Amino acid sequence: MTHPVLIRFHEVADAVGAALASATDRGGSGQRVGQYAIDLVTDAVALPMLRGAGFRVLSEESGLSGGGDGAIVVIDPVDGSTNFSRGVPWYATALCLVDDDGPAVALVADQASGERYAAVRGEGAWRGDGTPLVPSGCTSPAAAIVGISGPPGGDYGWAQFRALGASALDLCLVAAGTLDAFVDMSPDAHGVWDYLAASLICAEAGAVVVDALGRDLAVLDHAARRTPIGAATPALLDALRAVRTAS
């Protein structure tokens, strides 16, 4: 796909990947709990590239920056930075362009494996090699392999679960049919940068992602938090959401 925004997104992901590859400090940033030195390093790499292309930017690490009232790029330079800090190969760069009509262009770049997932609104979703993403089609929780974030509080009736530690990638696995669903088990723990790019990728692939409490996911507020649930089919989503909201 030669969409100009996607081209820039791939360039940003490449630059962040280079910073990750050369990183020597995997410790905390010293600025806030849960933030790592590499979060600040990669944010400093990505922001000039995006603002230089004329975008405003909403980043997990630095908030909203850039002037004007044009489109906004929502970015998590390293989703799964705790994984990166501990040497767990499951972390990504997630970018999503939001225009007046909502999420429009998305890229989630798996920085450990090199795999990439992309989508353009109305044009579909695909892997980095151009292969279309296809969800599993699972409709039954009893048959579902579910990715989670946060500790489960009981038996939810699904076949198995995985807690992998990078929600953007976890949701992309739903789009790709590797996982059947994703459920955030924590109350309002995710910022928009954690899920928005992957939500568009899921939607364009044919999967569905909602907030557990029915709120808008495309909220451009650095302080806002949501509880995303994604599934391969509406039937599976409804079943998982009913159990999640009852817990």
pTM of the model: 0.95
Whether the Cβ atoms of residue 151 and residue 165 lie closer than 8 Å to each other = no
Main-chain phi, psi angles of 10, to 5 degrees: -65, -40
DSSP state, 155?
Answer: -
pLDDT over 70 at 76, yes or no:
yes
**What is the Cα–Cα distance from 9 to 53, expressed in whole angstroms?**
10
Give me the mean pLDDT over the 8-37 stretch: 88
**What is the Cα–Cα distance from 105 to 201, expressed in whole angstroms?**
9
Whether the Cβ atoms of residue 231 and residue 181 lie closer than 8 Å to each other = yes
Q: What tens digit of pLDDT does each residue of 204-221 get?
A: 999 999 999 999 999 999
What pLDDT does residue 101 have? 95
**Sorting pLDDT into bands at 50, 70 and 90, what band is 37?**
confident
Task: Say which range, 16-30, 33-47, 121-135, 215-229, has the weakest mean pLDDT.
Answer: 16-30
CATH number, span 4-127 = 3.30.540.10
Give me the mean pLDDT over the 43-68 stretch: 93
Higher pLDDT pick, 187 / 228:
228
Share of the chain above pLDDT 70, in %: 98
Buried b (16+ CB within 10 A) or exposed e, 60-82: bbbeeebeeeeebbbbbbbbbbe
Give me the mean pLDDT over the 135-141 stretch: 97
**What is the Cα–Cα distance from 225 to 213, expressed in whole angstroms?**
11
Q: How many CA atoms lie within 13 A of 117 on its CB side?
A: 29
3-state secondary structure of 132: strand
Cβ-based neighbours of 216, under 8 Å, separated by 6 or more: none
pLDDT over 70 at 179, yes or no:
yes
What pLDDT does residue 1 have? 56
- Per-domain boundaries in the chain: 4-127, 141-246
Cβ-based neighbours of 158, under 8 Å, separated by 6 or more: 141, 142, 144, 145, 146, 181, 240
What pLDDT does residue 14 have? 98
Whether the Cβ atoms of residue 217 and residue 74 lie closer than 8 Å to each other = no
Asked if domains 4-127 and 141-246 share a fold, the reply is no
**Sorting pLDDT into bands at 50, 70 and 90, what band is 70?**
confident
Q: What tens digit of pLDDT does each residue of 153-169 get?
A: 777 888 999 999 999 99
Q: How many CA atoms lie within 13 A of 233 on its CB side?
A: 11
CATH entry, 141-246, from 3.40.1010.20, 3.30.559.10, 3.40.190.80, 3.50.50.60: 3.40.190.80
Of 169, 229, 222, the residue nearest 198 (C-alpha)? 169
Whole-number average pLDDT of the chain: 94
